[in-house]
Amino acid sequence: MEFDLTLAQKLAIWALPVLFAITFREIAHGYAARALGDRTATALGRLSPNPLKHIDPVGTVVVPGLLIVLGGFLMGWPRPIPIDYSRLKRPKRDLALVAAAGLGANAAMAIAWAILLKVGISAGDGPGVWLGLSYMGVAGITINLALLVLNLLPIPPLDGGRILIGLLPLRQARALARIEPYSLFILIALMMTPVLQKLLYWPMLILQSLLFMALDIDTSSLL
């Protein structure tokens, strides 16, 4: 959905959804790790709702900001929660569970933002606070579905890659884990071509459509 908004309005609408998406996603990873035996994030004070503890200057601020300004496909990354997988009760299995917690957090936030969008559309009538909240709801849905689908890619350290490592036999899991040092270069290469956007576009569109259908959301008034 495209809205006729100024740059300042776009940044105001996207700021909270982006900060919430990366903050609560990382907190979910940390709490899952703690429940499974690793208290590293707790000891370092990283299980905090304070976004400043999770912001990566490039991945959370510069990259998403430029993509919002340029109108590109929105993506970014936080400062990862530190996890010592050797402290987990069953490291291989728990690796997948910790990764799945991040995906679950993004799914839950997408639903929460969709509820806000529905409330905003129902309560709003023309320009005003409710219209702004509706736009913010769309932004929240978009960034969380983008993070959800992006992290399903089977490339460690993305969640999809770590879940696959947890599911594969040990030999294949070790082979996949060796890709992790090169993952950033792989993602940058994908971003520089239309490949990444094509990989993410249809899954995001399908998930958004299913979400709108489930909550009976009609966004025609926002267009």
- pLDDT, one tens digit per residue, over 135-165 is 999 999 999 999 999 999 999 989 999 999 9
Pair of tokens at residue 103: 């995906």
The confidence score (pLDDT) of residue 4 equals 66
Pair of tokens at residue 177: 């884990």
Closest CA to 159 of 77, 96, 107: 96
Closest CA to 129 of 13, 45, 46, 36: 13
SS3 171: helix
| Catalytic hit among 22, 25, 26, 142 | 26
Residue 23 has pLDDT above 70, yes or no: yes
Residue 128 has pLDDT above 80, yes or no: no
Label residue 1 by pLDDT band (50, 70, 90): very low
Please give the Cα distance from 36 to 28 (Å, whole number): 12
Q: Where are the domains of the chain?
A: 7-222
* Contact assessment for residue 58 and residue 125, using Cβ atoms and an 8 Å cutoff: no
SS3 195: helix
Residue 189 has pLDDT above 90, yes or no: no
Long-range own/partner contacts, residues 202-205 (CB < 8 A, 24 or more apart): 203/149, 203/152, 204/142, 204/145, 204/146, 204/149
Catalytic residue list contains 26:
yes
DSSP codes of every residue in 123-165:
H--SSSHHHHHHHHHHHHHHHHHHHHHHTTSS-TTSHHHHHHH
